[in-house]
Amino acid sequence: MAKYNSMENMICVAARQMEDGSSAAIGTGVPTAAGMLAQKLYAPNLLIFFEAGAAGPILPTMPVSVGDSRTTHHSLLASTMLDSMEAGQRGLLDYTFLGGAQIDKFGNLNSTMLGDDYHHPKVRFPGSGGANDLGSFCWKILVVTPHAKKRFVEKVDFITTPGFLSGPGAREEAGLSKGTGPFRVITDLAILDYNNPEKRMQVVSLHEGVTLEQVKDNTGFELLVADKLEKTSPPTDEELRILREEIDPSGFIIGRG
């Protein structure tokens, strides 16, 4: 088994989450790398949507943005953001990859600001982009993020993208479709999901060499733990070869691990 870094591990784990024939709205960087790896190994019929309007591409190399011309390579559609977002509103998107500066126990995401005053924040972030739309309408939200206490907080400073809001039933009360919402969180330490009646984040799998205490120590709220705690399979030699030689040979993404 070749050595690998945390970024390579997260991308490989993320690529395994999507079934063949499913659809996913992905952004540039880690989501694109995971989508490309999934297409090459696990889900050849994965239907990729880019926010800027491309749908169904077979990506030749890593695009630098959601509007890069490479996102339309062999695509089924080269349109605009209106069609991409409409696909989510119509319930046609199984997965979306999202992230942010903060995430809480119910999967709410903050990519807007830090602080308690919106007009005078401690830190201002880029904001939603399409994250609120995709997180509201896609069936399953996948989050890939480093695991740190400053990111995994008891309550986000601002809800940019709704998770399960305040708990069971809150999404539906807000007018969002039943069955949509947070699915899994993939970090450099573990895989987490929300498969419990409380709709709270729980640890389901520990990565190689990681202990449950490490995960808890890097989380700013009380984590639930699945009844059966799994061990994450590490990246395979073939996953790493494709990732390093075909997807990101320059190391723009995987070099950050």
Q: If we measure between CA atoms, which residue out of 94, 106, 85 comes closest to residue 142?
A: 94
Mark residue 167 as left, alpha or beta (left: phi above 0; alpha: psi -120 to 50; beta: remaining): left
- In eight-state DSSP terms, residue 174 is T
Contact present, 212 and 171 (Cβ < 8 Å):
no
Q: Which tokens hold the place of 53?
A: 């309007």
Q: If we measure between CA atoms, which residue out of 232, 235, 215 comes closest to residue 224?
A: 215
Q: Residue 247, class by beta-carbon neighbours within 10 Å (0-12 exposed, 13-18 middle, 19+ buried)?
A: buried
- In eight-state DSSP terms, residue 244 is I
What CA dihedral angle connects 12, 51, 155 and 180, to 10 degrees? -80
Residue 176 has φ and ψ, to the nearest 5°, of -95, 155
Amino acid, res. 34: A
d(CA 223, CA 118): 28
d(CA 209, CA 214): 10
Residues taking part in catalysis: 51
The angle that helices 6-15 and 30-41 make with each other, rounded to 10 degrees, is: 50
